Chains A and B, each alone.
Chain A
Amino acid sequence: KQEVTQIPAALSVPEGENLVLNCSFTDSAIYNLQWFRQDPGKGLTSLLLIQSSQREQTSGRLNASLDKSSGRSTLYIAASQPGDSATYLCAVSDRGSTLGRLYFGRGTQLTVWP
């Protein structure tokens, strides 16, 4: 069974710092990997999708990389802002499971203080 782990569980940084969130998964036979943002009590907002054939994706201040063979992904946030404060979730869709079924990590709770 696919297992997804996110490190660190929580992170608190001052505004302006560049930071890296880590995600690892146990089965490298994946279709894709998605990073989501979740605000308290809210649903999930998709940030980036990386297909298994891709190495990275960028959107604004966000950059996500994927190393499928080692089962790792990182989300890089440049010049962090207080508005970035949220929980960031990593999820993979693997080839051994229901088409599109996502396996999630527990998330990294990010706090950016002014």
Chain B
Amino acid sequence: DTGVSQDPRHKITKRGQNVTFRCDPISEHNRLYWYRQTLGQGPEFLTYFQNEAQLEKSRLLSDRFSAERPKGSFSTLEIQRTEQGDSAMYLCASSPGTGGMFVDEQFFGPGTRLTVL
């Protein structure tokens, strides 16, 4: 399977615990995005990486959230001191990003469903 993969697919945690999600983009895709989707809503942008550089963070991403993309390959999204409001589907997407300002198609992973009790 050469698509975007995410791990774990499901995570149940207690309020106050830390969680970390992983995203493996399509090989050689330079751009990587994280989105969050709550029930009945469309996904909302969280953050964007161009290779290993994190170029933008949404205001939705509070200080409890941190994302990394070491070496410009896989990415991790960590949530510290989880709250019930963090319960959502966390989606990762990647795109080739080889054409300068050209914006190409984004491919999404299966998502990680987080439930905070």
Interface core residue of A43, A105, A107 (most chain B CB under 10 Å): A43
Q: How many interface residues does B have (CB within 8 Å)? A: 31
In the complex, whether A114 has a CB less than 8 A from a CB of chain B is: no
Partner among B45, B91, B95, B104 whose Cβ is within 8 Å of the Cβ of A44: B91
Query: CB distance B103 to A100 under 8 Å?
Result: yes
Please tell me if A85 contacts chain B, counting CB pairs below 8 Å: no
**Minimum CB–CB distance for A43 against chain B, Å:** 4
The residue of chain A having its C-beta at the shortest distance from the C-beta of B108 within the complex is: A44
Chain A: interface residue count, which band? Answer: 20 to 34
Given contacts A99-B103, A100-B33, 9 further A-B contacts (CB under 8 A): A43-B6, A43-B91, A43-B111, A45-B108, A46-B106, A100-B31, A100-B48, A100-B104, A100-B106
A residues contacting B by CB (< 8 A) are 4, 31-32, 34, 36, 41-46, 49, 89, 91, 93, 98-107
B positions within 8 Å CB-CB of A: 4, 6, 31, 33, 35, 40-45, 48, 50, 55-56, 91, 93, 95, 97, 101-111, 113
Leading 8 A-B pairs by shortest Cβ distance: A104-B42, A31-B103, A44-B108, A43-B110, A98-B56, A49-B105, A43-B111, A43-B108
